[in-house]
Structure formats: C-alpha cells, structure tokens
Structure 1
Amino acid sequence: MVWSFFLVADLIVLFQVVIDVFRNDDLSGWGKAVWVLALLLVPALTALIYLVINGSGMAARQRGGRGPVPEPSDPQIINAPTPVDQIAQAKALLDSGALTADEFAALKAKALG
C-alpha cells in the first residue's frame, strides 16, 4: 500500500511537470523536447531538478490560467445581486407586463439553479 501511494504521488508530480513544461513560454520547442525526453529516461531525478529550477514559476503559470482572483472588497463582489434580488426584479417585470409567465419561470429557475 505504501508503494502504491508513492507511485501515485510520483505520477501526479510527473503529470504536473509535463503540463508546466508545455505552459512555459520561456522554453523553446527544443527545450520542451529535452525536458520531456529527460522525464521519460530518468523521471524522478528530472522532475526533482525541474521543480528546483522552475518551482516558483509553476505556481504563477497555474494561477495565470484561471485569471485574477477578486478581492472580497471588490465592488463587483459586494454589489452582486443575490438570487432573491434577481427573482424580485423578474417579478417586477412580470407585473409590469414586460415578461411573460414562461420567461419569468425561466429567469426564476436560472436564479435558483
């Protein structure tokens, strides 16, 4: 069981390194090929060397793929309408005749789910 844990952990590290090699814009095509070839020939040692050399860049590249994380004090987060607000707005539009009952039901389902 211990060996299977280490095997799974090793595979996870190898996949993360391979993904980061292809995300890395600083490497040329030949550089990426050399890293992948080294990972195939001597996986554990190559992954360790790659993590030492590019460890801080890996985190930045992984965060960069998701986009910026909004701050809790961001006005867009604070003023975001709640589902109750969305349903109340839709109900006001329904009462004014701007929406049909089917459109109201669709907006209500979207707000709730």
Structure 2
Amino acid sequence: MNGSTVNLAADYPLLQVFWTTMWFFLWILWFMLLFRVIGDIFRDDDLNGWGKAGWCVFVVILPFLGIFVYLIARGRSMGEREMRRMQKSQEDMNAYIRETAGTSSTGKADELAKLADLKTHGHITAEEFERAKAKVLAA
C-alpha cells in the first residue's frame, strides 16, 4: 500500500467510540433544546415584538449562554405556557366533538323538558305534545 497507513475500526478503541457517540447525542440534544426555546419565544403572547427579537438575537449570537439564561429566566413559565396551550387544544377538540356529534341524549332530554314546560303552561295541547315528543324521539 505505498507506505500509507490504513485506519481500521480495530484501531478505534471502545472508549473513543463511546465518547464520540456521547458527543453526537449531546449535539442533537442541544439542537432540540435550541428549537424548543425558539419555538417558545415565538409562541409567547406576553412578549412584544422587541422582546422576541431581543431573545432571538441573544439565543442566536450567544447560543449556549442565551439558552441557559432563557431557561433560568423563563423556564418555569415555559412549562406553564405549554400546559395552557395543551388545555386550550383539549378544550377546542372537546368543543368540536360536541358540535360534530350534534343532538345527543341530553339534547333530546332538553327538548322533551321544553315541550313538557310548554304543555304545563298551556301553550300546546296534549295532542301537540305527543306529536312533538314522537318527532324528538324519532330523530
């Protein structure tokens, strides 16, 4: 081989593989944290435009220091904002399900109660009540 050396996997000690793997995953973890913080900056409704711009510049220009300072200064509220966002999303989904499901058994019960109230007050006759009740139950 012309006097050149060939690096084989056997020449790479196991501890070196461990350190390389650890640094690689720490690098990925760092980027995940960076994107999480930048996402939180943009989703925060309490920050005005200048505040968001300032935090973004701080996080981009001095990434390690910026991320650590952001987590120290706003880490607790970061979790609270995420929790509020998840609760809002859950409420929206529940409202959509209720709206999409349409008339449920409680809706029929409400309609029957209104019909009974109309009959009790004399606004409709017993015949009209029975016909309306049959319509409600048939639906």
TM above 0.5:
yes
Aligned to 1:102: none
Paired amino acid for 2:67: A
Match of 1:33 in 2: 53
1:67 Cα shift? 1.1
Structure of higher CA gyration radius: 2
Aligned to 2:62: 42
Higher relative contact order at CA 8 Å, sep ≥6: structure 1 or structure 2? 1
TM superposition shift of 1:47? 0.4
Which one of 24, 40, 46 corresponds to residue 4 of structure 1? 24
Identity of aligned residues (%): 36
CA–CA distance in 2 between the matches of 1:55 and 1:6?
20
Q: 1:67 aligns to what?
A: 87
Matching residue's letter, 2:50: W
* 2:84 partner letter: G
Matched, 1:56 2:70: no
Larger helix proportion, structure 1 or 2? 2
- Equivalent residue letter for 2:31: L
TM-score by length of 2: 0.47
Q: Which ranges of structure 1 fall in alignment gaps of 5 or more residues?
A: 70-97, 99-113
Tell me the matched-pair count.
71
Q: CA–CA distance in 2 between the matches of 1:50 and 1:28? A: 16
Show structure 2 runs of 5+ residues with no match.
Answer: 1-20, 91-137
Deviations along 1:69-95, one digit per CA (max 9) or x if unpaired, are 7xxxxxxxxxxxxxxxxxxxxxxxxxx
* C-alpha displacement of 1:29: 0.1
Moved segments of 4+, more than 2 Å: none
Letter of the 2:82 partner, please give it. Answer: Q
CA drift of 1:23 comes to 1.7
